[in-house]
Structure 1
Amino acid sequence: MILSSPYDRDILDLAVPALAGLAAGPLVSLVDTAFVGQLGRIPLGALGVNTSIFSMTFVVFNFLAYGTTPRVGRAVGNDDREEAGRAVVRALVLAMAVGIVALAALQALARPILIVMGASEELMAPALSYLRIRALAGPAVLLITASHGAFRGYQDTRTPMVVTLGFNVVNGGLDPLLIFVFDWGLAGAAAATAVGQWVGALTFLYLLLYAQRDELGIRLRWPAPHTLVPFLKVGRDLFLRTASLVGTMTLATAMAARVGVTAVAAHQVAAQLWTFLALLVDALAVAAQALVSKHLGADDPESAREVANRLVQWGLAVGVGLGLGFWALRPVLPGFFTGDPDTVAALLDVYLFVVVLQPLNGLVFVGDGIYMGAEAFPYLAKAMIGTALAAAVVLLLVNPMGWGLVGVWWGIATLMVGRILTLAAPYVRGTLFAQGAE
């Protein structure tokens, strides 16, 4: 890796604040879990079921960020603030509309959703209460998501970081007050989260539609319905992509569970470590979306290619660093998560996969960001579907072939190798920045 590049400052200016913003949510979730855990097993279980529901909701609607960033970024690169502003308004209107629909659906279908998620009878009442309270912040969550995408397009990740840290502090501060002082229990945790998210959404709206409106080129004009269609198309493509990815990882967990209790316990630890490390590289993916779209908007595909190349180098370097660090922690890290010797042994059997795949992960996650910046969403969807099918074949052979937990991680490795190969093809051929991958 070349030690310095003229693009490094831009990359770090975007990636470092993005990392802080990305980390804030999971950290506060840990705080929520710690507080609710003091209430007992049933409230904690009810929180766990709801966490899965709201995590999947975010996955479905994350196109509001990923679709907004490149559109705003291209307009900014083209020095067209009015078009950037129009893209922001469209994203916010769509976020509010979809958020209201999601709120209504969650309220009406709360019980069936919890049944599908496997909530037992003893979990149903507290889980239902939590879901219905937290669902009140559905529009707020999607407004926050769209606002993140907007500011990233304006090459600003500091503002979202500050707002995100702020409303998560509100959430964390309200948790003990509502849970214990007001004695609302699990419902208090839901209320704290909902209030915090509305504080964040209203802060973003204040900044975008009032305080920074003129600077950002935003005009308060209702968008024509047909101008929202491109966002919905991006949503379709990203849903197919993400559903294929999540489905593969879910299948991996299911196959690990069929191997045995020890195997699935070890897999859970390995998968959580994998997810945590992905967070670090996601910050580079955010920078990739913003910078690539900006240069393409300025009709400068050569600079887009150069900054993308530098981001690839950063992704590889971070991946190698994470892999080496993880390997150095091998003697102590498994024991931090479990004291069961059989689970530790099973985890060590697949530990090398987590280590060796880190450089590949760095390339893949940054590559995703580059493709999103180039708005190659249809290609990402098709490539992920094909790769997921290949990985699924390996995973479905785990039990018949007796491959055990190691076989499960060979399936995950197949997924990641397939992803890097499909991302590399248009990139190496040079067609991505010329016309986008089809």
Structure 2
Amino acid sequence: MTAEDTDAPVTARRVFALAVPALGVLAAEPLYVLVDTAVVGHLGAVPLAGLALGGTVLSVLTSQLTFLSYGTTARTARLYGAGRRTEAVAEGGQATWLAIFVGLAVLVFGQLFAHPILSALAGNPAVADAAASWLRIAIIGAPAILITLAGNGWMRGIQDTVRPLYYILAGNVLSAIACPLLVYPLGFGLEGSAIANVLAQYTAAGLFLIALRSERSMVRPRWNIMKAQMVLGRDLILRSLSFQICFLSAAAVAARESAAALGAHQIVYQLWVFLSLILDSLAIAAQALIGAELGAERVARARAAAWQITRYSFALGVFLALVFAALAGVLPHVFTNDEAVLAQVPHAWWLFVAQQPVAGIVFALDGVLLGAADTRFLRTTTLACALGAFLPLIWLSWAFGWGLTGIWIGLTMFLVTRMVAVVLRTRSTHWAVAGA
């Protein structure tokens, strides 16, 4: 063990210098969706429903491919930590080629199957037509969306989270200006929203490509590297799929309880997603820092940094829990004035509040293990916790009439069992494999 290996762990300033810009990138997309929704909402119920449905399908398709971001960060950070910055950026170049190829496949798939998929989901021909019209244009941006994911991945790996924030904001500001102009004065209607979406995606993607070109790292495709990235991606896709199945099941069971229960679930779940973005920013910092420390073969510093970031994230989780406990009597009224919905909210609210410190630990250690490329463990434990804890409690809630309380106990148990798994894993030495 070298003297450097026993140095103090990373400072809070370094952690938050990575986390705060990353939070801006994570928050940019939901904020853009809110703007888009507000613009289209004035066209009427059918266009708004079409946007909601088409946007959901596009989001599900692209969210399954976030390995282009998280997996690339893990691989790039190790090379960067080993002092091989040029190779680290070249890894980002290969991830970008993979994003282009996969994005083109998603584009073709979307053009061929958009209407059948949306017709099956909508159950209303007018909504299905509107959604398909929007999606067929918006999905032209699929390669750009994936290039942006890859760009975020390699830049985080070399510990640059500021430039991605500027690139994403440039695209979203352009879209926020173009969307109302295209929808109303220029008369494109709902399709104008999709065109603005594509403009935003290609603006951000173009900036990431320019950054790669300036590094001279957009060389020809290397299939062996892309294959290795896809192996890592397989585990992350399965992990992400387990989340989708559980949350879709939770919404389905809440809907079977009552419309009020589903409305209350939607309010609390969207707040849960919002707080997850805040905690995920620290997880992104953990990925970059842990990968770099392991790449530099500073195992002791990596382990110390892992627990230090976890302490920060736990403290943030406690703070968020206190804030939302204090807002329990006020915040739900911002979202609805329906008394039946408001009566259902407390069944989920206090479990949501209690989850935040646990989520702080889980998100941070997920980031640590992702940074260490320990994706097989994360895949297996997430699937086990989802299928063994969350999913059974969701459907037992339906069978025995436990309502929202049962659903949110299921989510709580999902987080608690994952917390136990990732804490035990991080306490071991199996994840801390040194070298690039």
TM-score by length of 1: 0.95
Q: Which residue in the other structure is 1:359 paired with?
A: 357
Residues 1:226 and 2:224 are matched in the alignment: yes
* SS of residue matched to 2:432: helix
Gaps of 5+ in 1: none
Question: Deviation digits for residues 238-259 of structure 1, max 9, x if unmatched?
Answer: 1110111121111111111222
Cα separation, 2, equivalents of 1:111 and 1:342: 36
Partner in structure 1 of residue 376 of structure 2: 378
- Which of 162, 165, 183 is the equivalent residue of 2:166? 162
In structure 2, the CA distance between the partners of 1:161 and 1:40, relative to structure 1 (3 Å rule), is same
The answer to whether the Cα contact below 8 Å between 1:15 and 1:284 also exists between their aligned partners in 2 is yes
Provide the residue aligned with 1:121 in structure 2. 125
For 2:5, the equivalent position in structure 1 comes to none
How big is the shift at 1:82? Answer: 3.1
1:350 aligns with 2:354: no
Of residues 313, 319, 322, the one that matches 2:320 is 322
- Letter in structure 2 aligned against 1:401: F
Q: Residue 252 of structure 1 contacts residue 412 of structure 1 at CA under 8 Å; is this kept in 2?
A: no
Contact (CA 8 Å) 2:295, 2:434: kept in 1 or not? Answer: no
Matched, 1:72 2:76: yes
> Do the aligned residues in 1 keep the contact of 2:93 with 2:212 (CA within 8 Å)?
no
Contact 1:90 1:223 in 2 (8 A): yes
Structure 2 spans left out of the alignment, 5+ residues: 1-7
Give runs of aligned pairs for residues 103-252 of structure 1, distance below 5 A: 103-118=107-122, 120-210=124-214, 213=215, 218-252=216-250
Report the residue type matching 2:334 in the other structure. Answer: F
Identity %: 37
- 1:169 deviates by 0.2
Secondary structure in 1 aligned to 2:219? coil
Amino acid at match of 1:352: W
- The alpha-carbon deviation at position 203 of structure 1 amounts to 1.1
Does residue 45 (structure 1) correspond to residue 44 (structure 2)? The answer is no
Amino acid at match of 2:184: F
The separation in 2 between residues aligned to 1:56 and 1:205, in whole angstroms, is 25
Higher alpha-carbon deviation: 145-154 or 105-114: 105-114
Q: How much has 1:429 moved relative to structure 2?
A: 2.5
The amino acid that maps onto 1:16 is V
Q: 1:31 aligns with which of 32, 35, 38?
A: 35
The answer to whether the 8 Å contact 1:17/1:157 transfers is: yes
The alpha carbon displacement at 1:356 in A equals 0.5
TM-score normalised by L of structure 2: 0.95
**Contact 1:252 1:411 (8 Å CA) reproduced:** no
Aligned residue-pair number:
427
Residue of structure 2 in register with 1:336 after alignment: 334
CA RMSD of superposed structures (Å): 1.5
Residue 118 of structure 1 deviates from its aligned partner by 2.3
Tell me the distance in 1 between the aligned counterparts of 2:217 and 2:56.
Answer: 37
Q: Mean alpha-carbon deviation: is it higher for 36-45 or for 386-395? A: 386-395
1:83 equivalent in structure 2: 87
Aligned counterpart, 1:253: 251
Quick one: distance in 1 between partners of 2:434 and 2:205? 35
| 2:262 maps to which of 258, 261, 264 | 264
State the Cα distance separating 1:58 from its structure 2 match. Answer: 2.0
CA distance in 2, matches of 1:168, 1:385: 34
Partners of 1:225 and 1:408 lie apart in 2 by 44
Residues 69 and 154, structure 2, Cα contact 8 Å, conserved in 1 = yes
Shift of 1:359: 0.6
The CA distance in 2 between the partners of 1:243 and 1:6, in whole Å, is: 33
Which deviates more from structure 2 when the two are superposed, residues 114-123 or residues 402-411? 114-123
